[in-house]
Amino acid sequence: MCTASPPPPVNRKMKKRLLLFLLANFLIRGSIANSQVVTYEAVAAFPESDVFPWTRVGTFDATRALIDDCIMIDVDLGIWAPTPGGEQDFYRRSIPEFQGSPFFVQWRCRSTAPNSEIAGGGSFINSWGGASAYHFTITVDLVQFFRDSFLPILQFPIEANKAHTYRVECLTNAMYYVFIDGVLVDSGTQEGLFPNTSAKIIWGAQMWNAPSINTWDYVRYGVIPTEHSGDFNNNGTIDDTDLYYFVDCLLGPDYDAAGPGCKWADLNADGKADAADIQSFANAMTGA
C-alpha cells in the first residue's frame, strides 16, 4: 500500500486477514493493459518503462523515485530561471480506442505544493480531445478544475498532507461527473462526447514558483466496470488481475468502499465493497 495513503485503521484488520487467504494463492501484479481498462500502479517501473509504456514529456530533470508502490516526482527550479517555470515531468498517452464507451479516469495523488502554485504548479492531470477538456491542478490543500474557457473555474479545498482519490466519469448520454474521495463535486453536460478520436491523458508535476514533491499512487482509466460484476477490467473472467483492484477497494481509504470506483467490487449489491463480498469474489475466482 502506498504511503501516500493514510494507514489502515484497526477496523480493517479483519478484512486484511480474510484477504490474505486470497493473496497467498495468486500472483499479484501491478499495472494492467488491455482493451478495456489500463492502469499504471507505480509498483515496479517508471511510467515510460511500464507494461504499457507512457510517453514521457517535460524537462527531464525532475528527481523521481518509486517508493512503496508510488512514484514521487520532486520538482524544483532546476536549471530554469527566472520563475514562473521550472522542472516538469509529465506522462502522456492517446486514448482513441475508448471512443463511444462509458469512460472513467481515476487517480490517487498528493502534492506538497503551496496553494499559490494553483496558477501552474503542483500535480496536474489533463484529459482532453476536440471540444472536451478536463484539467485538474492539485496543490497541498486546494484543487482546481478547469473544463472550458467559457465555464467558471472551480476550486475545491482538500485536507492537507494526505493522498486523495479523484475520478471523472464521461457517460455516453453526454453527462460528466467529477468525484473527490468518492463525493460528487461537479457534473454537467460534455461539450463533445469524450473520449473521442483525439483524446489524450497527460499527468505529472511541475514547478511554477515554488518547489514541490508530488506522489502518485496510480492512474487508471478505461471502460467503467459493470456494477457488482467483480470484473474490474471487463474481460469476462474474474482472476488475479481483478484481485489486485478488489484488495485496493477493501483495504484502501474508506471512501473507496462505497465510492463510484468500487461499485464493481460490491458483489452482493449492498452499497459498499467490504468483507461481505470476499466469499463471492473468491468463488468467482476459483470457479466454485
By CB under 5 A, name the binding residues for Ca ion: 2, 41-42, 69, 217-218, 231, 233, 235, 242, 266, 268, 270, 277
- The phi-psi region of residue 44 (left if phi > 0; otherwise alpha if psi is between -120 and 50; otherwise beta) is alpha
- From the CB of 174, what's the least distance to Ca ion, in Å? 28
User: Hey, is 66 helix, strand or coil?
Assistant: strand
Q: Closest Cα to residue 212, out of 124, 285, 139?
A: 139
Give the CB-nearest residue to Ca ion: 69
Nearer to Ca ion, 181 or 217 (CB): 217
DSSP one-letter string for 84-142: S---EEEEEEE-GGGTTS-EEEEEEEEE---GGGGGT-EEEEEEEETTEEEEEEE-SSE
- From the CB of 72, what's the least distance to Ca ion, in Å? 11
Nearer to Ca ion, 198 or 286 (CB): 286
Nearer to Ca ion, 46 or 146 (CB): 46
Nearer to Ca ion, 115 or 165 (CB): 165
- From the CB of 94, what's the least distance to Ca ion, in Å? 23
- From the CB of 43, what's the least distance to Ca ion, in Å? 6
Nearer to Ca ion, 15 or 93 (CB): 15
Nearer to Ca ion, 86 or 261 (CB): 261
Residues 6+ apart with CB under 8 A from 217: 2, 4, 5, 41, 42, 69, 70, 107, 108, 109, 163
Helices (H) and strands (E) counted in the chain, each on its own, are 4, 15
Rounded Cα distance, 169 and 177, in Å: 5
CB 108 within 8 A of CB 218: yes
Nearer to Ca ion, 159 or 270 (CB): 270
- From the CB of 203, what's the least distance to Ca ion, in Å? 13
Rounded Cα distance, 10 and 20, in Å: 16
- From the CB of 32, what's the least distance to Ca ion, in Å? 9
Rounded Cα distance, 38 and 251, in Å: 21
- From the CB of 106, what's the least distance to Ca ion, in Å? 12
